[in-house]
Every structure is written in structure tokens, then in C-alpha cells.
């Protein structure tokens, strides 16, 4: 796996990788992470992948982190952990 870029953002750490014919977009916030795989056949360049990371995509991913944290906490609560 080759790291292509760290993309600065105040809400999450965003890293772009290239691996096995795919671009991987990895977003991290605290202990949670989301990874999106984009086939190199579906885009023409790394610039296209960066274009996918628009405000709407990032806002949805950040909201998803909130839901992920809530889901994890609910699981802890259900099992008294």
C-alpha cells in the first residue's frame, strides 16, 4: 500500500492511498475510521478522487462518525461494559 497524500481537514484526518488497483480514502476521527475504496477504472486520476472529497461528502462522513460513536456506546451499554 502506498500513501499518496494527507489531506488536511479540521474535522477528520484524511489519507489517500493507492493499493491493488484501487484508491483508498481513509478518514479517521478519534478511535473510529471509515475507508472508501474507489477502483482506478472508475476515475481518470488522483485529482478525480480528491474531487470526490467535496463539502457534502465530508459533512456526511463526519455525521457518520457521530452515529458510529453512538452505535458503539449503545453496544457497550447493552452489555454493561
Question: For the chain, what are the domain ranges?
Answer: 2-78
Q: Report, as an integer, the average pLDDT of 48-77.
A: 98
The pTM of the full predicted model, rounded to 2 decimals, is 0.92
The closest alpha carbon to 31, from 71, 69, 76, belongs to 69
What's the pLDDT band for 29 if we cut at 50, 70, 90?
Answer: very high
3-state secondary structure string across the chain? CEEEEEECCCCCEEEEEEECCEEEEEEEECCEEEEEEEECCCCCCHHHHHHHCCHHHHHHHHHHHHHHHHHHHHHHHHCCC
- Residue 11's pLDDT is 95
Half-sphere exposure of 38 (CA within 13 A, CB side): 20
According to the model, what pLDDT value does residue 67 have?
A: 98
Amino acid at each position: 500500500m502506498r500513501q499518496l497524500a494527507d489531506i488536511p481537514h479540521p474535522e477528520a484526518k484524511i489519507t489517500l492511498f493507492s493499493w491493488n488497483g484501487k484508491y483508498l480514502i481513509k478518514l479517521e476521527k478519534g478511535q473510529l475510521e471509515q475507508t472508501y475504496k474507489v477502483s482506478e477504472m472508475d476515475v481518470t486520476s488522483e485529482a478525480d478522487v480528491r474531487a470526490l472529497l467535496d463539502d457534502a461528502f465530508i459533512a456526511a462522513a463526519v455525521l457518520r462518525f457521530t452515529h458510529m460513536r453512538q452505535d458503539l456506546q449503545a453496544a457497550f451499554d447493552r452489555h454493561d461494559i
